[in-house]
């Protein structure tokens, strides 16, 4: 199965700033997903990012707040824009690989102060 390198692993950011999270996959994958896990909560899907098309956002998430890039089949970024303390969460990327199932990045623990 694929190996995903996710960066940064953690960050502390000032409110009003933006943070870009990167996921690099060691093989080409079609479907990549971005999730948010708020403290004490389960994972929630932010958007599905497929190469060559606009990301598809879930209800409650908008492109202006969480712009996503997917320039090729091995790389994607998620930006958390104009951050507030409510954005403090773990953010994870994931890829779908058929019979191998799903592989997750190691997560980015974001604290907004």
Q: How far is the CB of 20 from another protein (least distance, A)?
A: 18
Q: How far is the CB of 75 from another protein (least distance, A)?
A: 19
Q: How far is the CB of 49 from another protein (least distance, A)?
A: 12
- For another protein, the binding residues (CB under 8 A) are 1, 9, 31, 33, 37, 41-45, 48, 90, 92, 94, 96, 101-107, 109
- Residue 94: helix, strand or coil by DSSP? strand
The residue among 71 and 102 lying less far from another protein, judged by its C-beta, is 102
The residue among 74 and 103 lying less far from another protein, judged by its C-beta, is 103
The residue among 85 and 101 lying less far from another protein, judged by its C-beta, is 101
Pairing of strands 56-57, 43-50: antiparallel
Write the DSSP string, 1-45: ---EEEE-SEEEE-TT--EEEEEEESS--SEEEEEEE-TTS-EEE
CA distance 68 to 47: 8
């Amino acid at each position: 199965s694929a190996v995903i390198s996710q960066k940064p692993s953690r960050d502390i950011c000032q409110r009003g700033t933006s943070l870009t999270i990167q996921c690099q996959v060691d093989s080409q994958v079609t479907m990549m997903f971005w999730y948010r896990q708020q403290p004490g909560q389960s994972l929630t899907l932010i958007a599905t990012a497929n190469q060559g098309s606009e990301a598809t956002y879930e209800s409650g998430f908008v492109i202006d707040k969480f712009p996503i890039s997917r320039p090729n089949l091995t790389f994607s970024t998620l930006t958390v824009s104009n951050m507030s303390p409510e954005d403090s969460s773990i953010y994870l990327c994931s890829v779908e690989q058929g019979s191998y199932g799903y592989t997750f990045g190691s997560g980015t623990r974001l604290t907004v102060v």
